[in-house]
Structure 1
């Protein structure tokens, strides 16, 4: 735990420094737009220093530097192949971050002076090196949102050069120890920074970032008892924070392969950057761009061990009749309503659950628990026909960027391990730390929920193990107050005491008025 606390503290400190840079330099752009530049520069520096570390390691016994090897016609193709196979990309020596910084700060003549176009070329060379290689899926278009020709960065090339040069120098001044045993200090700082930008951007920014508390809770619930996971997925992965959180809660921290899908192009790029900066090799993740409900990029055969998800709440979708033949939605005979696609996301996740030991933890609005019509039919199908709903957990209100509504967690399992005759309900709506802008789900609150989930016992006003007969009796309505009674008896009111208090107040009020009138008469008013 000490190591975890240390790297978390380092990550917090680092993210605050980066946030200060963003605020100092963003100029005529708001933070949500300027983030593309500062995150892009951090990411490029990370890739550059990974290249240097890797090349120093593999060339150590050859007695040559990366620059010398690359300048040699015989060596160059070899080191390029090594870089592509291990890192997935090639950064030429002249494009290394430290060499670009040297051009910004220590140029000896105008010919050697840095231009924003040098950075643009370095990025294009990096992405271009992946063309025709499998790693292109991880790097293609990764820097598209860092628009170095944008006039808001500067009207002229010189202005843009000055602005991006200042960002690069500021980032270069921060100590990134990539060889630290806590390999994801920088990645965690990157994630915190994304969260800070999301808070600053309000509702729009919050779409791609799940706060740490709910993210940690879902990852913990979905990975309980697992040493490792063959496959982990998030079908609306945003910046990939929940995907990465799962890895932390596996005993061995081993994930065979990560899968994700994201519709927003900017966020799709963020998620791939975030995976790489957390030490996940390009060979070990596939993040797809596209609309999960309309176009299932996972394909028919992919089955996932662990799935976590925070889909957009009550999203409108087409509910086109053609989806009745989609194997993800065809089991019920009814589609999720046009006005709320929440349960369509759940059906997608159920379809991709590993039949031997698949787990899902998904954050949803409470409406999915009790709304009628097609949603009632889908709930009944999930509970009665598939028997995969394991727990329903109500969370506090105002936990998320941009929405104050309370949400719930649905936990689903393909193997219920002796619990197939019941569903656990937990009302955790009162466990939070009040914050200035939003409430916070802290570790103590998460621990209480997880402990109740593991023990699976009735806890007065907090948890209830509902037999299937109760669920049927309630018509498959899962509204938590039907199962967990949180009613608190109020203190009995002493009416005689209240009457006496009112009488006293009346007397005091009359005396005060009389006194005031006496003063006014004395003043002749």
Structure 2
């Protein structure tokens, strides 16, 4: 294995990102691009822990010299690294490197059970059929060329590089990316609307890679607040993705957070005693139209989430909404959730739940976003904003904003510019279009008009002068697209099960 080094402190952001992407390219061939993240992020995090440990050790030696003891030095270290488990121990192993790496990562997790449990995921590093020795050596050597300690890269630089990799992996993953990555401009808008304050408790019940939580910290810092006062919480069902969330938060310089793995519907883990923990801000981009989400347990839900009814067993959209609304703190609680437009008009059980939520007067705003913003779906999406206590001028009303034209066309996905985000946020907070003829429309609708339309929240009913027939076509197209995507997901799941059972087709 050929080793190379780069002198610390001399990397630009672009050079760091280029170096990290070269690590991913080392996997091309044996590893599917959609799985790059499961291999690259644990190695990057391992290198960061080792380099940071070296930096902390040097500080301890400088402070105490010959008087330094193991007990004193332990206070300098963020994470413990057992003997034989440092980066250098792995990189210098020229045969069976995967087995050595696997053992080192497992022992580091065991030495830091509260902070690092499960953080490295479940890759079988010793399996050379899946990851040949040559590919692993190339991956390790790519990271060996950079120093990731605080003297070489600061938290913002490292966090930005991590976000760069997330974005690149999302583009490589295509539709598979939706489970772990929400485009940053969408996250930025939603967090800006919810406006986190110093001391707030924040929760994301479908936290993916932790982007929503990281953005709340960035937003508070940009507003001049102390991000260390925020208390961050997340739950994520996928092992690899929950591990990525923990790494993401650590690499952004955050230490005081709680990310748990588990099924939010069947086994919520963000609890206060026997009930749900309540938060100032609850924010999420959950998986759309989730099937088999756990409806069977909600008729007698011990956490009182089905206040407005049990959603359909084959569509968990309103389960996410009700879980989040139930997690709001009294007075200060607010919710922001990304949803498909179908939640605005679908009938049956969902229609009854929607009416119930509106009558409780906690739905503050419905914001329609542009098409094709996400890697996981091309259907139009909306933001639903709930508040436990709405301002007086918005009580018994819902603010509708059509921001579908506020975007910049991109090669694969559309994006919202900083100006788009500012205009939409101002429209929400001020109730006016600050940009005049800027492609945005809004109306504040009273309860009587909502009742007149059967509590249908389709934005086109209230803002545009379209006839009901036109609106019905729009609804039908959205419902058709959602159904096609659900069918495709179900067929893919069936194919995976048939392959696992040994059927070849």
Q: CA deviation at 1:393?
A: 0.2
Segments of 5+ residues of structure 2 without an aligned counterpart are: 1-10, 467-505
Q: Does 1:389 align with 2:379?
A: no
Where does residue 150 of structure 1 map in the other structure? 127
Q: Does 1:39 align with 2:11?
A: no
In the alignment of these two chains, the number of paired residues is: 444
Q: Does 1:286 align with 2:286?
A: no
Q: Does 1:433 align with 2:408?
A: yes
Conservation of the 8 A alpha-carbon contact between 1:319 and 1:335: no
Where does residue 187 of structure 2 map in the other structure? 215
Highest CA radius of gyration, 1 or 2? 1
- In the alignment, the residues of structure 1 paired with residue 99 and residue 359 of structure 2 have an alpha-carbon distance, to the nearest angstrom, of 61
Q: Do the aligned partners of residues 34 and 421 (structure 1) sit closer, same or farther apart at CA in structure 2, a change above 3 Å counting?
A: closer
Report SS of the residue matched to 2:36. Answer: helix
Conservation of the 8 A alpha-carbon contact between 1:328 and 1:347: no
Conservation of the 8 A alpha-carbon contact between 1:232 and 1:304: yes
Q: CA deviation at 1:301?
A: 4.4
- In the alignment, the residues of structure 2 paired with residue 474 and residue 92 of structure 1 have an alpha-carbon distance, to the nearest angstrom, of 65
- In the alignment, the residues of structure 2 paired with residue 238 and residue 94 of structure 1 have an alpha-carbon distance, to the nearest angstrom, of 32
- In the alignment, the residues of structure 2 paired with residue 242 and residue 202 of structure 1 have an alpha-carbon distance, to the nearest angstrom, of 20
Q: Does 1:261 align with 2:251?
A: no
Partner residue of 1:63 out of 49, 62, 65: 65
Where does residue 81 of structure 2 map in the other structure? 91
Mapping 1:219-230, distance limit 5 Å: 219-223=191-195, 226-230=196-200
TM-score scaled by length of structure 1: 0.78
Conservation of the 8 A alpha-carbon contact between 1:229 and 1:305: no
Mapping 1:80-479, distance limit 5 Å: 80=74, 82=75, 87=78, 89-92=79-82, 94-98=84-88, 100-101=90-91, 103=92, 115-130=97-112, 136-154=113-131, 160=133, 162-176=134-148, 178-179=150-151, 183-223=155-195, 226-250=196-220, 251=223, 252=225, 253-281=227-255, 284-299=256-271, 300-317=275-292, 320-326=295-301, 327-332=303-308, 334-385=309-360, 387-418=361-392, 419-457=394-432, 462-479=441-458
Report SS of the residue matched to 2:200. Answer: strand
Report SS of the residue matched to 2:212. Answer: helix
Segments of 5+ residues of structure 1 without an aligned counterpart are: 1-8, 70-74, 105-109, 131-135, 488-525
Q: CA deviation at 1:350?
A: 0.9
Q: Do the aligned partners of residues 214 and 345 (structure 1) sit closer, same or farther apart at CA in structure 2, a change above 3 Å counting?
A: same
Conservation of the 8 A alpha-carbon contact between 2:246 and 2:259: yes
Q: What do residues 374-409 of structure 1 show as CA deviations (whole Å, max 9, x unaligned)?
A: 212212222212x11111000111111131101000
Conservation of the 8 A alpha-carbon contact between 1:232 and 1:255: no
Q: CA deviation at 1:94?
A: 5.0
- In the alignment, the residues of structure 1 paired with residue 129 and residue 321 of structure 2 have an alpha-carbon distance, to the nearest angstrom, of 41
- In the alignment, the residues of structure 1 paired with residue 351 and residue 72 of structure 2 have an alpha-carbon distance, to the nearest angstrom, of 61
Report SS of the residue matched to 1:286. Answer: strand
- In the alignment, the residues of structure 2 paired with residue 335 and residue 12 of structure 1 have an alpha-carbon distance, to the nearest angstrom, of 49
Where does residue 76 of structure 1 map in the other structure? 70
Report SS of the residue matched to 1:325. Answer: coil
Q: Do the aligned partners of residues 393 and 138 (structure 1) sit closer, same or farther apart at CA in structure 2, a change above 3 Å counting?
A: same
Which sits farther off after the overlay, 23-32 or 415-424?
Answer: 23-32
Report SS of the residue matched to 1:328. Answer: coil
